[in-house]
Structure 1
Amino acid sequence: MEPHILILGAPGAGKGTQSDNIVEEFGVEHVTTGDALRANKEMDISHLGLEYDTPGEYMDRGELVPDEVVNEIVDTALDEADGFVLDGYPRNLDQAETLSEMTDLDVVLYLDVDEEELVERLTGRRLDPETGDIYHVEFNMPDDEEVRQRLVQREDDTEETVRERIRVYQENTEPVIEFYEEEGDLIRIDGEQTPDEVWDDVKSAIEENA
């Protein structure tokens, strides 16, 4: 059976990069709440007795999709996956408890990165509006001068917005991290190493536990 992996970490901790590595190495599916919601926009949720009958109606109105809907969609996505790396869920303690009823996890990885490092990573990101490629002012700038000239900072990457995103993440997710620590499932990974060093630790943790 393919491994069931949960990856946790603040915005900018490197979850996307490491999830891609996990998918390639272990042949599992990358399940994110955003992708799962987009893939199931038309799912019939009328039996939940909520305001709308499909997740898409919340999304089209820019409203927050209720927990019960997210839970149902994640449950469906995990059921359909042979093995998975789950990223972006659970975001709070209620969701963590619900997840433990849905599936058994082999390993819970937490990419641990200091707040100042996260701020530096996120505020340094630059977007190429023509290609959608993401660069970084310190770690990864394009060689082409023309591309450099047109790079922009996304609105949600300004320092004020970044600090608020991290604050909200910490407030909601601290209890989740404590929950998995108490269960004895949490493996802390030093997320401030180079991406290759982080990957070495991630790969070892999965191989030893899954």
Structure 2
Amino acid sequence: MSSPHVLLLGPPGAGKGTQARRIADRFDVEHVTTGDALRSSKEMNISHLDCEYDTPGEYMDQGDLVPDAVVDEIVEQALASADGFVLDGYPRNDDQAEALESMTDLDAILALDVPRDVLVERLTGRRVCEDCGTNFHVDFDPPDAEGVCDECGGAVVQREDDQPDSVRNRLDVFAETTAPVIDRYRDREAFVDIDGDRTPDAVWADIESTISEAIGAVEGQR
């Protein structure tokens, strides 16, 4: 079976991380996220890009936004070393989408669609283990003991960016900068809208069948 190139799009709280991990396991591909790629490339020499700093880590240490040119190069390196991948969290704007088109072809472009009020409920109810990063939810998936991680015993807390005002701001930023990226891809043959306002298993069933069909189409063209 071919190793697919999958782009997973959607707003914060849509379930991209959960579904991307399932895609990576099921189709034996790399799960590429901008956060992980940046953290693993903190010391990469970017002096040739003529940016303010010479490594991505210097931007991160200062709390500054990493420029698109740096993110583009890091993602390109991550994709080049992967036989197949599911890309999660990139591109975040139209310029990054244009850069991605010069890096690789995409077999499946999946956009998770979830109503805004549901996203707010999901994100404001989310709790995260400070030690291992396991996610919980106060209504849908609480830890067995309140405030204690089931996996490692660490403290389960609400992240600052999951506070109601922060959540609404994140969704506003997504609508302004990243939603147009989805519209950019909407007419592509590889694009599929996925109803994300369902159980994770129901969403996964659609994702798995869509990617399997995309793989079959690619192999049939060879």
TM-score class, shorter-chain normalisation, is: over 0.9
Mapped partners of 1:172, 1:101: distance in 2: 20
Q: The residue matched to 2:106 in structure 1 has which SS?
A: coil
Higher mean C-alpha displacement, 104-113 vs 152-161: 152-161
Shift of 1:128: 4.3
The aligned counterpart of 1:173 is: 178
The aligned counterpart of 1:67 is: 68
Shift of 1:208: 0.8
The aligned counterpart of 2:128 is: 127
Higher mean C-alpha displacement, 42-51 vs 25-34: 42-51
Shift of 1:129: 4.4
- Mark the CA change 1:54 to 1:190 in structure 2 (over 3 Å): closer, same or farther: same
2:19 matches 1:14: no
C-alpha contact (below 8 Å) 2:114/2:197 kept by paired residues: yes
C-alpha contact (below 8 Å) 2:147/2:157 kept by paired residues: no
Which one has a larger percent helix, Structure 1 or Structure 2? 1
- Mark the CA change 1:131 to 1:170 in structure 2 (over 3 Å): closer, same or farther: same
Gapped regions of structure 2 (runs ≥ 5): 150-154, 216-222
The aligned counterpart of 1:153 is: 158
Shift of 1:131: 5.7
C-alpha contact (below 8 Å) 1:189/1:198 kept by paired residues: yes
Q: The residue matched to 2:157 in structure 1 has which SS?
A: coil
Mapped partners of 2:36, 2:131: distance in 1: 23
The aligned counterpart of 2:207 is: 202
Shift of 1:153: 2.2
2:82 matches 1:81: yes
Q: The residue matched to 1:182 in structure 2 has which SS?
A: coil
The aligned counterpart of 1:107 is: 108
Shift of 1:123: 0.5
Higher mean C-alpha displacement, 138-147 vs 77-86: 138-147
Q: The residue matched to 1:36 in structure 2 has which SS?
A: helix
Deviations for 1:95-137, whole angstroms, at most 9, x for unmatched residues?
A: 1111011100000000100000000000111234466433211
TM-score (norm 1): 0.94
The aligned counterpart of 2:219 is: none
C-alpha contact (below 8 Å) 1:127/1:151 kept by paired residues: yes
Mapped partners of 2:88, 2:117: distance in 1: 22
Mapped partners of 2:147, 2:172: distance in 1: 36
C-alpha contact (below 8 Å) 1:177/1:186 kept by paired residues: no
Structure 1 runs of 4+ with >6 Å offset: none
Q: Which amino acid aligns with 2:203?
A: V
Q: Which amino acid aligns with 1:187?
A: V
Gapped regions of structure 1 (runs ≥ 5): none
The aligned counterpart of 1:33 is: 34
Mapped partners of 2:63, 2:131: distance in 1: 25
- Mark the CA change 1:206 to 1:126 in structure 2 (over 3 Å): closer, same or farther: same
TM-score (norm 2): 0.89
C-alpha contact (below 8 Å) 1:13/1:191 kept by paired residues: yes
Identity of aligned pairs, percent?
60
Aligned length: 209
- Please tell me the root mean square deviation across aligned C-alpha atoms, in Å: 1.6
Mapped partners of 1:61, 1:67: distance in 2: 17
